Amino acid sequence: MLTDRFDLVAAVGYAAAGIPLLALAVIDARTHRLPDRITLPLIPGSLLVAAAASASTHDWPALGRAAAAGLTVFAVGFAIMFASPGGAGLGFGDVKLGASLGILTGWLSWGTVVGAIALAFLGAGLWAAALVLTRRANRHTHLAFGPFLIGGAVLAIVAG
């Protein structure tokens, strides 16, 4: 249950992080862009949330794990973006968003990080399949991945 894992400081921090994340999900769904003016400040903001949560719970290893998870998700996302032929994979906005989400999920556990990423890819894959089956998309159609990254992280955080 969420109340078992979050004290008041962590709950307020995560709720505050939800505001720009909701904005990013809507913007990306509409425009296929994740603007730097939101994604870049969200990275240190996510670190601040993790630091405040660690200070209030006296769980300093969680802060180290959060930072490591943010760097790991960023690095893996960057590798996927770089390896994708013709820019068909992740965009750099998704990679920067992944750093923040890695921090926020990593503060909880590595399992939450993996779960968030798995849920994001599962959700995007199911949505893409539904669009193809209903002939609303084809293999050349670009999908905004940010909403799926955010949704996967939220589900993983809530599910624990």
| Tally of residues, the chain | 160
Distance from C-alpha of 52 to C-alpha of 68, rounded to nearest angstrom: 17
Tokens 């955080």 correspond to: 157
Three-state DSSP state, 106: helix
Model's pTM, two decimal places?
0.94
Domain that holds residue 21: 2-159
**Residue 74 near residue 95, CB atoms below 8 Å:** yes
Instruction: Give, for all 160 residues of the chain, the pLDDT tens digit.
Output: 556 778 999 999 999 999 999 999 999 999 999 999 999 999 999 999 999 999 999 999 999 999 999 999 999 999 999 998 766 678 999 999 999 999 999 999 999 999 999 999 999 999 999 999 998 888 778 899 999 999 999 999 999 8
Number of domains in the chain: 1
**For residue 75, what are the CA distances in angstroms to 3, 13, 64, 116?**
32, 25, 16, 16
